[in-house]
Amino acid sequence: MDPTFVTALQNIVSPEVLLVIFLSAVYGLFVGSIPGLTATMAVALLIPLTFYLDNLSAIAAIVTLEACSIFAGDIPTTLVRIPGTPSSAAYTDDAYSLTQRGLHETSLGVSLVFSVAGGLFGALVLILAAPQLAKIAFHFTTYEYFWLYVLGLSCAAIVSTGSRLKGALALMIGLMFSTVGLSEVHSVPRFTFGFDELFTGINFIPAMIGLFGLSEVFRNCLTSKTDEESGKLTSAVISDDDKSWFKHLKPVFGGVLPHLWKRKFSWFRSSCIGSTIGMIPGAGADIAAWISYAVSKKSSKTPEEYGKGSLDAVGDATSANNSALAGAWIPALVLGIPGDSVTAIVIGVLLMKNITPGPEIFNNADQLVLVHGIYLTFIIANLLLIPLGFLAIRSGSQLVRVPRRILMPLILMFCVVGSYSINGSYFDVWVMLGMGIIGFVLEVFAIPLGPVVLGIILGGQLEQTFVQNLTKDDSLLSFFNRPISAGLGIFCIALWLVPVFMPLLRKKWQSAN
Amino acid sequence: MNQRAMRYATVGLKPLLLLSLLWGGCSSSSVENYPDRPISIICPWSVGGATDRTSRQLAVFLEQELGVPVNVINATGGRGVTGHSRGLKARPDGYTLAIITGELNMLHWQDLTSLTHQDAIPIMSLVDGAAAVFVKKDSPFQSMQELQDFVKENPGKLTATGTASGGIWHLALAGWLDFSGLNADDIKWIPMNGAGPSLQELASGGVDLVCCSLPEAKTLYESGQVRCLGVMAEESLAEFQDVPTFRSQGMDWSISGWNGLALPVGTPPPIVDKISKVVKKITSGETTLQGKTFPELMQAAGLSTKYRANDEYAQFLKTNDKTLGKLLTSDAFSQMSSRGTGPLVFPGLLAVAICVILGCLGVQKKVHALAPDVSKDTVTKQGVVNTVLILLGIVAYLLFAEELGFILTAGAILFLLLWKLGTRWWMSALITLLFIPGIYTLFAQLLRVPLPQGVLGW
């Protein structure tokens, strides 16, 4: 066996490192399950501590924190319809619908097991394919990025529940919000109405909390929902007098493993999508979840269930977002280019610890130990997620027993503090409030909220690459000049045209018969 | 915890809580016992970059010296307007420190903000990174002279990037072109969001040149993916001895991007003195963290430092402002950022798309379809009252939190909401007493979010 691997293993099983991993797992679950606090923020808050840790512990802490907080984002998504992290936004409606049917523990069980399975798959990809696969992503220029963003956004519109037109409308509204602020490419303030705060644009975290969280509070309050509903929810929860552990395990894990076996191919597909998207710099776990969701819906036998509580949707998207995490480390380690915002911080930490990420990291014996340590931590963190995630689900499940008249003011407090905490700015609370009202109005017209959020997140980058491409070459044909961009572009256009021409073709085919 | 234990804990907690509140009231922040609560550093650029690295490194040392948590807040966007405004327009009580960068001396010349260096009390300049020009490893250009000759023959053929248009690195490159007797836009500038993505674009063949500071390209440079044609510094950098300066290639042109620590104007002099002293101690290498001093750690990260304290720093800011102002207001630069696709093209396209979609929806007569679960539940009169209460609660928080502090405002709002929504008053009080200190501990202490402190300090 590789001696550096053995050294890494010896280092990582030391009590100190294991303690660090355990503590960061708990911290990660905690932060991830609070809406408004993202994995990126959790890692950023950890930075001062990493100075006091040795290299391996510091990196292990970040890896564990990331894996656990991305899973934990599913807990409030499922229980109260507020995505804990942006990566959970794709399947919010599905997970919450399952909760309304009293199936929240099954849904969270699927989230947990598929997250772990996806995370382990991502780790395997990181271990096996890091240098080779990074080379492909390295050839991406603004043209390829442009099409990648278009693809991600189109997927959001296509997968949205109800009418596709409304999905597209929601997307356009989100993109419109993204144009607020000082444009990076033009350096001109747009739609700021004299507010200095709007120069930064609309921060998508408070926007997301408002759209999903506050609008839900409004909806609940306006209809004065009584506690009958929460009573209905708890009926599925195991009764209190049964204290055996197995009875607690059953609603969470019962049927999940057979389900995983049944869906092994779709799990494999989603995980592949996840690690590939993760590897592409700039596209992180959230985009991976959206694309995987779209592919899953396309290839499903029951696409009509998507958005209305499909376990398949939750499983596929959540394995993709977890496998994307390890994928993002590939360009970070091999090229020193971050795959997502967390690895952007990681590069900073590595540099401060005198490690320069780059191809030579794989040649230097000391640093190779660290790389192997990262591999091992991904595996350990995901395995640790099974017991800790289960405990988090159990304690989170108590939430649905709380009457709504108590829960709603408490959620409101979390919405306010959560949106404030991301930047320490009151303006973000105003944004949250405004988005809450907008979200409520959109829901009245049955316009889906997911594409709005994705539009706000990706709009800026889409416009930037669009303008950058046009600055390089005025001709629209230049968007298809490079082989990968041409392929992606044609694929995107086909994706839009198929739903338009499909009914015509079908009609023709029927009349021919 | 079982029910009885929980009840016991709350009963025991109450006097403790009252005590702690009183204590908090007595020791409300004053100049003498500064600092007695967490300090924030506002960094105007995103995580991972050189300015962020500097801020975080400084924060760790400040935390050790001052004995209170020091958080870094990345207030990014708006080409630095946001972060600089937040840092320099903050309440001048010493609990918000600002990291200022070269953009402070540029933005006001470009009419993007009214902030100038006169809104800052300079403490210490930290990083000073000279601009450098990079090409991909297989590029035909071996020296700046070859590049200059090519541009002279083929104006507008090459593309370059490194930051937003009109940003410091764009200015550096355009300034060199102008200095060489060429037009400032003879090399097309592709606006990009910082050095990281720009270098990736260079390595993947998307642009011909990148202009940014040397340490920002350290990884790619040392692995041989990119070649450095020259650095716009007075003399070659200690860390990168083999990189030629522009001057050594016969071009007397130098420019650099810098960052440093500042305080908002109006900060009490004793606090300014205290921070100055501590920062001087840190930057002179008197303090160590795990056996490493601040300058050593900065050098290890590849950042070129230049420490200028108080008056010297103020003098530098003044001359730097003049230099940049002269460049930015010259004819060559005044039209620099007003080319290409206009700022309203993209929103315009979106507006057209929205109209088309609304038109289609109108034809389909689906616009007024209500969401199923909203139409099912009837809106009650009590419901409308409750919703208005919720709205008022948020607005009340926004209006009073800064003055009253988080605990008082959030506590009052939560109690009233719970009570008005139908929970018995003692139950509401109990939940409030448990939840508010809990959420405060969680966010302000564990997660170190700077929650509003208010007049009483809590």
Residue-wise pLDDT for A380-427, tens only, equals 999 999 999 988 888 887 776 778 788 889 889 988 988 888 777 888
Reading phi first (left if > 0) and then psi (alpha if -120 to 50, else beta), residue A354 is in: left
* CA-based nearest distance A499→chain B, Å: 15
Q: Exposed/middle/buried for B140, CB within 10 Å: 0-12, 13-18, 19+?
A: exposed
Pairs of CB atoms within 8 A across A/B: 299
Residue finishing a domain among A384, A403, A422: A403
Residue finishing a domain among A354, A378, A403: A403
Q: What is the pLDDT of residues B59-70, one digit of tens each?
A: 989 999 998 888
Q: Between chains, do A417 and B443 touch, taking CB under 8 Å as contact?
A: yes
Of chain A, the percentage scoring pLDDT greater than 90 comes to: 19
- Banded pLDDT at B13 (limits 50, 70, 90): very low
Is A189 strand, coil or helix?
Answer: strand
Pairing status of strand B70-74 against strand B39-43:
parallel
Res B370: pLDDT: 46
Let me know: does A280 contact A140? Beta carbons within 8 Å: yes
Instruction: Classify residue A464: in a domain, yes or no.
Output: no
**Which residue is associated with the tokens 């049955």?**
A446
Task: Supply B203's token pair.
Answer: 């390595």
Type and span of the H or E element at A273: helix A264-279
**Overall average pLDDT of the B332-336 stretch:** 67
Number of domains into which chain A is organized: 2
Pairing status of strand B188-189 against strand B159-161:
parallel
Pick from A191, A222, A433: CB nearest B379: A222
Q: Is A39 on the interface with B (CB under 8 A)?
A: no
Pure H helices in A303-449: 311-335, 341-352, 365-397, 404-421, 426-444
The CA-atom distances, in angstroms, between B228 and each of B132, B152, B232, B297 are: 7, 20, 11, 24
Pick from A189, A219, A471: CB nearest B374: A219
- Chain B contacts of A40, Cβ < 8 Å? 47
Is A190 strand, coil or helix?
Answer: strand
Q: Which of B292, B310, B301, B295 is nearest to B219 (CA)?
A: B301
Res B336: pLDDT: 60
Q: Are residues A376 and A500 in the same domain?
A: no
Mean pLDDT of chain A: 82
Q: What is the pLDDT of residues B398-446, one digit of tens each?
A: 999 988 989 999 999 999 999 988 888 999 999 999 999 998 988 887 7
Q: Between chains, do B73 and A185 touch, taking CB under 8 Å as contact?
A: no
Res A272: pLDDT: 92
Interface of A with B in 172-191 (CB under 8 A): 172-173, 175-176, 179, 181-191
Residue finishing a domain among A343, A368, A403: A403
Other CB atoms within a 10 A radius of the CB of residue B374 amount to: 17
- Chain B contacts of A48, Cβ < 8 Å? 56, 59-60, 63, 70
Least confident of A436-440, B111-115, B195-199: B195-199
Q: Are residues A494 and A370 in the same domain?
A: no
Task: Supply A504's token pair.
Answer: 């015509």
Type and span of the H or E element at A493: helix A483-512
How far apart CA A28 and CA A377 sit, in angstroms, is 14
Q: Between chains, do A344 and B48 touch, taking CB under 8 Å as contact?
A: yes
Q: Which of A196, A111, A199 is nearest to B78 (CA)?
A: A199
Res A451: pLDDT: 84
Instruction: Classify residue A177: in a domain, yes or no.
Output: no
Q: Between chains, do B394 and A345 touch, taking CB under 8 Å as contact?
A: no
**Overall average pLDDT of the A14-27 stretch:** 90
Q: Are residues A491 and A396 in the same domain?
A: no
Res B1: pLDDT: 35
Res A505: pLDDT: 79
Its sign, for the CA torsion A417, A421, A422, A424, is positive
Q: Is B85 on the interface with A (CB under 8 A)?
A: yes
Report which listed range, A433-442, A491-500, B197-206, is most confident.
A433-442
Q: Is B78 on the interface with A (CB under 8 A)?
A: yes
Residues 6+ apart with CB under 8 A from A433: A210, A214, B391, B394, B395, B398
Query: Could you give the count of Cα atoms lying within 13 Å of A39 in the half-sphere of its Cβ?
Result: 33
- Chain A contacts of B343, Cβ < 8 Å? 183, 186, 188, 190
Instruction: Classify residue A244: in a domain, yes or no.
Output: no
Assess: ipTM above 0.90. no
Least confident of A70-84, A395-409, A428-442: A395-409
Q: Are residues A351 and A498 in the same domain?
A: no
Interface of A with B in 462-481 (CB under 8 A): 463-464, 466-468, 470-472
Instruction: Classify residue A411: in a domain, yes or no.
Output: no
Q: Are residues A135 and A274 in the same domain?
A: yes
Mean pLDDT of chain B: 84
Instruction: Classify residue A79: in a domain, yes or no.
Output: yes
* CA-based nearest distance A188→chain B, Å: 7
Q: Between chains, do B205 and A433 touch, taking CB under 8 Å as contact?
A: no
pLDDT at position B24 over 50:
no
Q: Which of B281, B270, B311, B263 is nearest to B39 (CA)?
A: B263
**Overall average pLDDT of the A345-369 stretch:** 74
Least confident of A169-183, A425-439, B16-30, B89-103: B16-30
What are phi and psi for residue B3, nearest 5 degrees? Answer: -60, -45
Q: Is B140 on the interface with A (CB under 8 A)?
A: no
Q: Is A26 on the interface with B (CB under 8 A)?
A: no
Q: pTM of the entire structure?
A: 0.77
**Overall average pLDDT of the B298-317 stretch:** 89
How far apart CA B436 and CA B416 sit, in angstroms, is 13
Res A337: pLDDT: 66
- Chain A contacts of B188, Cβ < 8 Å? 471-472
Task: Supply A95's token pair.
Answer: 């997970």
Task: Supply B316's token pair.
Answer: 């530098």
Reading phi first (left if > 0) and then psi (alpha if -120 to 50, else beta), residue A145 is in: alpha
Q: Is B298 on the interface with A (CB under 8 A)?
A: no
- Banded pLDDT at B6 (limits 50, 70, 90): very low
Exposure string of B212-221, with b = 16+ CB inside 10 Å and e = fewer, is: bbbbbbbbbb
How far apart CA B68 and CA B34 sit, in angstroms, is 10
Q: Between chains, do A405 and B340 touch, taking CB under 8 Å as contact?
A: no
pLDDT at position A52 over 90:
no
Q: Are residues A226 and A341 in the same domain?
A: yes
Q: Is B396 on the interface with A (CB under 8 A)?
A: no
Q: Between chains, do A468 and B192 touch, taking CB under 8 Å as contact?
A: yes
Q: Between chains, do B75 and A416 touch, taking CB under 8 Å as contact?
A: no
Q: Between chains, do B48 and A338 touch, taking CB under 8 Å as contact?
A: yes
- Banded pLDDT at A89 (limits 50, 70, 90): confident
Measured between CA atoms, the residue of chain A closest to residue B338 is: A186
Q: Which of B115, B163, B172 is nearest to B333 (CA)?
A: B172
Task: Supply B177's token pair.
Answer: 């072109």
Per-residue DSSP letter, A238: P
Q: Between chains, do A408 and B78 touch, taking CB under 8 Å as contact?
A: no
Q: Are residues A394 and A498 in the same domain?
A: no
Measured between CA atoms, the residue of chain B closest to residue A46 is: B447
Of residues B282 and A236, more confidence is placed in: B282
**Overall average pLDDT of the B173-182 stretch:** 90
pLDDT at position B52 over 50:
yes
pLDDT at position B229 over 90:
yes
SS (H, E, C) chain B: CCHHHHHHHHHHHHHHHHHHHHHHHHCCCCCCCCCCCCEEEEECCCCCCHHHHHHHHHHHHHHHHHCCCEEEEECCCHHHHHHHHHHHCCCCCCCEEEEEECCHHHHCCCCCCCCCHHHEEEEEEEEEEEEEEEEECCCCCCCHHHHHHHHHHCCCCCEEECCCCCCHHHHHHHHHHHHCCCCCCCCEECCCCCHHHHHHHHHCCCCCEEEEECHHHHHHHHCCCEEEEEECCCCCCCCCCCCCECHHHCCCCCCEEEEEEEEECCCCHHHHHHHHHHHHHHHCCCCEECCEEHHHHHHHCCCCEEEEEHHHHHHHHHHHHHHHHHHHHCHHHHCCCCCCCCCCHHHHHHHHHHHHHHHHHHHHCCCCCCCHHHHHCCCCHHHHHHHHHHHHHHHHHHHHHHHHCHHHHHHHHHHHHHHHCCCCHHHHHHHHHHHHHHHHHHHHHHCCCCCCCCCCCC
Q: Is A395 on the interface with B (CB under 8 A)?
A: no
Per-residue DSSP letter, A420: H
- Chain B contacts of A434, Cβ < 8 Å? none
Interface of B with A in 268-287 (CB under 8 A): none
Res A512: pLDDT: 74
Q: What is the pLDDT of residues A294-318, one digit of tens each?
A: 888 888 888 888 888 888 889 999 9
Q: Between chains, do A445 and B421 touch, taking CB under 8 Å as contact?
A: no
Instruction: Classify residue A311: in a domain, yes or no.
Output: yes
- Banded pLDDT at B122 (limits 50, 70, 90): very high
pLDDT at position A18 over 50:
yes
How far apart CA A139 and CA B373 sit, in angstroms, is 47
Pick from B164, B225, B364: CB nearest A184: B164
Res A48: pLDDT: 66
Res B27: pLDDT: 39
Angle between helices A104-137 and A365-397 (to 10 degrees): 160
Measured between CA atoms, the residue of chain B closest to residue A359 is: B223
Of residues B456 and B270, more confidence is placed in: B270
Instruction: Classify residue A444: in a domain, yes or no.
Output: no
Measured between CA atoms, the residue of chain A closest to residue B342 is: A186
How far apart CA A212 and CA A83 sit, in angstroms, is 7
Least confident of A349-353, B350-354, B451-455: A349-353
Let me know: does A110 contact A314? Beta carbons within 8 Å: yes
Instruction: Classify residue A373: in a domain, yes or no.
Output: yes
How far apart CA B196 and CA B433 sit, in angstroms, is 47
Domain interval for residue A488: 483-512
∠ CA B123-B265-B166, rounded to 5°: 75
∠ CA B221-B227-B231, rounded to 5°: 90
Q: What is the pLDDT of residues A143-178, one digit of tens each?
A: 988 887 888 788 777 766 667 788 899 999 999 999
- Chain B contacts of A470, Cβ < 8 Å? 340-341
Q: Which of B348, B328, B371, B303 is nearest to B129 (CA)?
A: B303
* CA-based nearest distance A62→chain B, Å: 15
Res A370: pLDDT: 86
Q: Which of B127, B128, B124 is nearest to B279 (CA)?
A: B124
